[in-house]
Amino acid sequence: MLTIKQITDDKEAVIRGLEKKHFKNAREAVDAVLGFNDIRKKTQAELDNNLSQLKSISKSIGLLMKEGKKDEAEAAKQKVAAIKESNKSLEERMAKAQEDMTAMLLTIPNLPYDLVPEGATAEDNEIVKTGGHDIPLPENPLPHWELAKKYNLIDFDLGVKVTGAGFPVYIGWGARLQRALINFFLDEARKAGYTEIMPPTVVNTASGYGTGQLPDKEGQMYHCENDDLYLIPTAEVPVTNIYRDVILDEKQLPIKNCAYTQCFRREAGSYGKDVRGLNRLHEFSKIEIVRIDTPEHSAESHQEMLDHVEGLLQKLELPYRILRLCGGDISFTAALCYDFEVYSEAQQRWLEVSSVSNFDTYQANRLHCRYRNAEKKIQLCHTLNGSALALPRIVAALLENFQTPDGIRVPKALQPYMGTDLIC
């Protein structure tokens, strides 16, 4: 969440940033935070004054008793008791103001960097780069859901039978392709210096608040009510929360972690072609890369993460483009985000396969994730993460772009993992 210092240092700049993100009632929310902060500060001043009086009066009681002024000493004791009773009320008021201020701050999104373009929807995102291969396809190429059925790779109807829509069953070479991609992505992350983590796929409420899924995305997360646990929408949540309430040493940074997990999202989106087949699922596999870094180095870390994801798409020989998200399309928690999309010739559309984000201090402030610098000063870290990569649309793109009259061609990078160069 935003720090109170960010808001008090330049209230108008904060409001402009929130408006760039199309956050409704930005000024009212900021004013509410400042109002609670004023109550907290004034109450603290009263408490400090009371504590000063208590110290002074307590000293005088002993002297009065020595001088035999018992009545005056008794009056002083009564005054001390009254001040202590007043302090209880003040402490409750201050705690309530702090609680209300924090609750309001949790509803306010992160501020976008200046580099984030203006805009309200995905149509306003900036294309910063395109790359990859032009892939010749047979006439009238098939979409992946038909290819999956043709080669018995994925059974969507069986998934509906077992669980429901959005939970496909992978079979034979389809299951092997999933495993090949998972191992390939993890191996590439290891080569890039990421330490693999195998985290839980359910988290507690504190973890959801720590990375910003709560309260913003509460309706999109599967909730186990009896245990008050949430199925993770991404490995970002458990991995980043490893560093909740931790003070790191600057020499430990940047921390680089990766994790493979299943991911769960209740809201599968709109109807129609956008959710056909693997385009949008309730459960899917994903490899996530996470970094904890210093403010001075986080921009460099972000670029390294972008280069890593781009390298994966190049090795998979897929046509891709990189988008810088506009203010209206960037996530609640991100300060700067780039999306990677691969092109599906069969569907004649771009499919998002990764988002790589820098959160500045926003998540770290929620998490109390800090580091001690060379001067022994404790500061908030920067957190970053990205998909490297999400499997469903990568699988869709591989099936559609590498279809041939003889079967599905396997890109060279995956052949050692698949044990074949053709799925047929």
pLDDT tens string 114-127: 999 999 999 999 99
Assess contact for 358 and 364: CB atoms under 8 A.
no
Give the separation between CA 77 and CA 91, rounded to whole angstroms.
21
> How many Cα atoms sit within 13 Å of 155 on the Cβ side?
11
Grouping H, G, I as helix, E, B as strand and the rest as coil, residue 353 is: strand
> CA distances (Å), 184 to each of 83, 153, 156, 198, 389, in order?
67, 19, 25, 16, 10
In one letter, which amino acid is 405?
Answer: P
- Which residues are CB-contacts of 340 (< 8 A; sequence separation ≥ 6)? 309, 310, 313, 320, 321, 322, 323, 352, 353, 354, 355, 356, 389
Please tell me whether 352 is known to bind a ligand.
yes
The pLDDT value recorded for residue 50 is: 85
Predicted confidence band at 272 (pLDDT cuts at 50, 70, 90)?
low
Give span(s): CATH 3.30.930.10, the chain.
122-423
CATH 1.10.287.40 maps onto the chain at: 4-105
- Between CA 248 and CA 398, with CA 288 as vertex, the angle to 5 degrees is 160
CB-CB contact of 311 with 115 (8 Å): no
**Residue 288, annotated as binding a ligand:** yes
Helix then strand then coil, in percent of the chain rounded to 5, is 45, 20, 35
Minimum mean pLDDT among 31-35, 88-92, 167-171, 257-261: which range? 88-92
CATH architecture classification, 122-423: 2-Layer Sandwich (3.30)
125 near 326, Cβ under 8 Å?
A: yes
pLDDT per position as a tens digit, 119-167: 999 999 999 999 987 788 888 899 999 999 999 999 999 999 999 999 9
pTM of the model: 0.91
Question: Tokens representing 317?
Answer: 């020989």
Burial (CB count within 10 angstroms: exposed 0-12, middle 13-18, buried 19+), residue 136? exposed
- Length of the chain, please? 424
Q: What is the pLDDT of residue 86?
A: 85
Region 238-259 average pLDDT: 98
Consult the annotation and say whether 244 binds a ligand: no
At 58 the pLDDT is 74
First vs last C-alpha separation in the chain: 51
CA distances in angstroms from 3 to 31, 33, 376, 380, 390, listed in the order given: 14, 11, 21, 10, 32
**According to the annotation, is 409 in a ligand binding site?**
no
270 known ligand binder: no
355 has binding-site annotation:
yes
CA–CA dist 10, 33 (Å, integer)? 13
Q: Which residues contact 109 (CB under 8 A, 6 or more apart)?
A: 18, 21, 23, 216, 332, 333
The pLDDT value recorded for residue 89 is 87
- What pLDDT score does 274 carry? 64
Strand order in the sheet with 247-249: 247-249, 370-372, 378-380
* pLDDT tens profile 361-371: 999 999 999 99
Handedness of CA 151, 157, 161, 167 (dihedral sign): positive
Rounded CA gap, 354 and 386, in Å? 7
Task: Evaluate whether 338 touches 325 at the Cβ level (below 8 Å).
Answer: yes
Mean predicted confidence (pLDDT) in 170-187: 98
Averaged pLDDT score across all residues of the chain: 93
Q: pLDDT (tens digit, 9 = 90+) per residue, 304-359? A: 999 999 999 999 999 999 999 999 999 999 999 999 999 988 888 999 999 999 99
Q: What is the rounded distance in angstroms from the CA atom of residue 210 to the CA atom of residue 213? A: 8
Beta bridge partners of 286: 261, 390
Q: Give mean pLDDT, residues 96-111.
A: 97
* 283 annotated as a binding-site residue: no
Band of residue 268 on the pLDDT scale cut at 50, 70, 90: low
Dihedral sign for Cα 401, 404, 408, 411, please. negative
Written as one string, the DSSP assignment of 192-209 is TTPEEE---SEEEHHHHH
Enter the tokens of residue 87: 């302090």
Q: Domain 4-105 in CATH: superfamily? A: Serine-tRNA synthetase, tRNA binding domain (1.10.287.40)
The pLDDT assigned to 75 comes to 76
239 carries a ligand binding annotation: no
Q: What digits encode the pLDDT tens for the residues 284-318?
A: 999 999 999 999 999 999 999 999 999 999 999 99
Range of lowest pLDDT (97-106, 272-281, 335-344): 272-281
DSSP 95: H
In the predicted model, is pLDDT for residue 65 greater than 80? no
Residue that is written with structure tokens 């940033």 in the block: 17
- Record the tokens describing residue 217, joined without a space: 């995305």
Q: What are phi and psi of 363, to 5 degrees?
A: -70, -40
b/e per residue, 219-237, with b = 16+ CB within 10 A? eebebeeeeebbbbbbbbb
